[in-house]
Structures are given as C-alpha cells and as structure tokens.
Amino acid sequence: MSAKVVVGTQWGDEGKGKIVDVLADKADMVVRFQGGDNAGHTVVVNGKKHVLHLLPSGVLREDAACIIGPGVVCNPFVLLKEMETLEKSGLSTSHIRISDRAQILMPYHCYQDELEEAAASNKIGTTKRGIGPCYQDKYARKGIRYHEFIDFDTFEKRLRENVAMKNKLFTAVYGGKPMDADEMVEQFRQIYDRIVPMIVESTHLVNEAIDEGKEVLFEGAQAAMLDINYGTYPYVTSSSPTSAGVTVGAGVAPSRLDQVIGVVKAYSTRVGEGPFVTELEDETGEWLRKNGFEYGATTGRPRRCGWLDLVVVRHANMINGLTDIVLTKLDVLDGLDEIQVCTGYEIDGRLQNYVPSDQADVARAKPVYTTLPGWKEDITKMRTWDELPENAKKYVEFIEEFTGVPVSMVSVGPDRENNIAHNDRLD
C-alpha cells in the first residue's frame, strides 16, 4: 500500500503525532493536508520531546519529503520558528516544502481572531491563532496564496489592500486599533529569502509519488469531532480533518487512498467549549488528566477528560471509512479496577446509537455505559500482544467488535518505540 492517511477519531490530542512519526519511518513523503498552527503534535524520540504545531509530525524523519499541502493555512513566521527549534536540536529542515496553493496566514488574521472571540457572547474556545479568519478569507476569495509571495511587488499590493479593508473592520466594528501595513510589509520582506525557496507546486509531486509506488503518508490536524461539517458544530475547527479532507487538501482522488488509519485514545479528552457526553468532573477525571498529562500542546490548557465514547468512534469510522485503528494511551488506564465505555446515548428517555447534529441534544444526552474489568499491571514495557494482561486484551477486542475495525497497533507509552503490533497490517 503506497498511500496512507492518519486521522483523529475524537476531539484531537489522540496521539496522531507519535503515530505519524512511527509510520513515517517507511515513508518517502509526508503531507499535511489541512489546518494550521492551532494543532499540537507531541513526538518523543529517545526521551526527547518535540512539540510541533504547523510542521507535519513526519518532519523528524529526514529521509521523507515533508510537504505543507494546499489545504493548510500556513503562518510563515510560525513555520520558521519551528524550523529553527528543530535545527537547534541538530535536525535537518532541508526536506520541507510549502504548496504554492496554500494560504498565507497573515498577522491580521490573528488579530481578527482575538477581536472576534472577545466580542462573542457564545465563545467557541479558539486558540486565537487566526485559523478561522484565514479560512474565511480563503472562501471569500480574499486570501493570499504562497505563489503570490514569489512576486513581492504583487504580494505587497495585495497585503496593503487587505490591511486597509481589515482596519475598517477592526476599528468600526470591534473598536480595535488599526494595523500598520508598512510594518507588516517589512516583516515579510525580511523572511522572503527563506520562504520562497521552499515554495513548490505540490499537487503533481504528490500524485507522481503515488504513481511511482512510493510510500506517501497524509497527516491531518484535529479530528472527526472537530470537523466543520460532521463535528460538534459550532465548537469545531474551520476545515475537514477527515479522510475526505485529503482529496481537497492535498489534491489526490479518493480512489488513490489505500489505507485510512484512525487514531483512538483509550479514553476521551477535549479542549475548548461544547458538550462532552462522557466528561468526568470528579476524581476519576482528574486522575485521567494527571496520569495522561492531559494539557494542550498548543495552549497549555488542561483538557477535559472522560471515558471512551465508542458512539463517537463509530461516527468517525462512518465518515472516514477506517481500515485500521491505532489505540493510544492504553497504559494510562493501568491500575483501574473497572473501566467504563460509552456504547449509547439516552436522550429524553430514548436510546440513541449515533451522534446527534444538534448540540442541544448532545448536551442532554446521558451516556449508556458498559463496564469492563481493569488491570493492575504496568504495560509500558510490554512490546508484544501476548504480554498484555488478559483484561487489557479484552478491552482492545471490545473496541474492535463494537466498531467493526481491526486494532492494528496499541501504543503503551509516549516514545516512538512504545508500541505493540496486533497484526501485520501497518508493516
């Protein structure tokens, strides 16, 4: 199989970064297909932690071409900062390329994000990284793409036009201060020589790689429940982090995708606002947060924690067409006597086995739990399926049976070596 996609199945933070890093060991190309630097991917290599926001997690595998795809909103200043951090760690960044169709996330997008969130009565919990406003401009056809940056005179003209327009919005609507176009032009002028050599027409490169039978790995940010169409709207991101998002975000046909790998955390977490059916606002929830170190890689915010919601995972399977599941953070559950798994919702006295569209319905939903036995053993040093405690195996098998998707790998720790293969499907 030459084209694999890694997607999140919950609200993000499932450990996609680690899994992409593991799978990228055999990849010739890694492509990020949506989102921006509101993502937070943590990869641990030989005990050293690397936190990535914009760069694909596969960037740590220097033999693979690393592409920021057309569907990404890319802040060039954040990109250069991340590259500098990697370079200080002794890692190469020479394999990084930016699609010329990708949108340039501008300083005025970040400011607009701050002003809009401050003025909102129903706050979404945005990271204030400018992602939403940049996608707004993209679909309003006012955005600036990377190919426009190559001709700096043209870019400067577009920038000044947009700043003038944005300043009317900032001052007249939000009561904010105008931004300085001259200062912004100079900021971009200073990074021109570093950014332009990375800009390529990526769509043909990706498709040629697939034509040649090379291993191409597609990586998204966020996850199914934050999808703009099928997530917990409006508490969602501004793009489609699903397998379908690959086709528009990287420029490949659906028929070219061989494997869709869904990353499932062994329990549930989410950051930001919105209803959360299995949330535990008690000692158990705090125990999961502490043991799983559940704090946002981008914001540092403590994540809301709860039991695994398999209604959500089955929803993710339906919209992504999962061929495999990678189960992460199973080790966090070590030591529990019992583990609850949500297998349905009770809404107004009725049992429902799918995720409602209306968040008012989700907010009223009560989780219907199946209780499974826990295990006391420390599984972090285990590397084979046979070593796992029987109750840990039963937990994995329950997930497989309920979702109808094979669990092909189990992660039992943060390092790229802390994995157990359940079959040979990800070889």
Considering 21, 37, 41, 113, which one is annotated as catalytic?
Answer: 41
Domain residue limits, the chain:
3-98+200-256, 104-195, 264-421
* Coil vs helix vs strand at 420: strand
Helix locations, 212-324, DSSP H: 243-250, 283-291, 310-320
Active site residue 100: no
| Domain 3-98+200-256: CATH architecture, name and number where available | 3-Layer(aba) Sandwich (3.40)
Q: Rounded to two decimals, what is the model's pTM?
A: 0.92
Phi-psi region at 13: left, alpha or beta (left = phi > 0; alpha = psi -120 to 50): left
Distance in angstroms (rounded) separating the CA atoms of residues 34 and 249: 6
* Per-position pLDDT tens, the chain of length 427: 589 999 999 999 999 988 998 998 899 999 999 999 987 777 776 677 778 888 888 888 888 999 999 999 999 999 999 999 999 988 899 999 999 999 999 999 999 999 998 887 776 667 789 999 999 999 999 999 999 999 999 999 999 999 999 999 999 999 999 999 999 999 999 999 999 999 999 999 999 999 999 999 999 889 999 999 999 999 999 999 999 999 999 999 999 999 999 999 999 999 888 999 999 999 999 999 999 999 876 667 899 999 999 999 999 999 999 999 999 999 999 999 999 999 999 999 999 999 999 999 999 999 999 999 999 999 999 999 999 999 999 999 999 999 999 999 999 998 889 999 998 888 7
pLDDT score of 368: 98
Assigned superfamily of 264-421? Adenylosuccinate Synthetase, subunit A, domain 3 (3.90.170.10)
Active site residue 21: no
For residues 311 and 353, the answer to whether their CB atoms sit within 8 Å is: yes
Count of other CB atoms within 10 angstroms of residue 17: 27
Count of other CB atoms within 10 angstroms of residue 400: 15
For residues 144 and 103, the answer to whether their CB atoms sit within 8 Å is: yes
Distance in angstroms (rounded) separating the CA atoms of residues 149 and 268: 41
pLDDT score of 168: 97
Examine domains 3-98+200-256 and 104-195 and report if their fold is the same.
Answer: no
pLDDT score of 397: 97
Considering 13, 37, 113, 331, which one is annotated as catalytic?
Answer: 13
Q: What is the DSSP string of 18-56?
A: HHHHHHGGG-SEEEE-SB-TT--EEEEETTEEEEESSS-
pLDDT score of 51: 80
389: its two tokens? 């405690």
168: its two tokens? 């009317």
311: its two tokens? 């209604």
Count of other CB atoms within 10 angstroms of residue 417: 11
326: its two tokens? 């990678």
129: its two tokens? 């990284």
pLDDT score of 43: 74
pLDDT score of 272: 81
What CATH number is given for 104-195 in this structure? 1.10.300.10
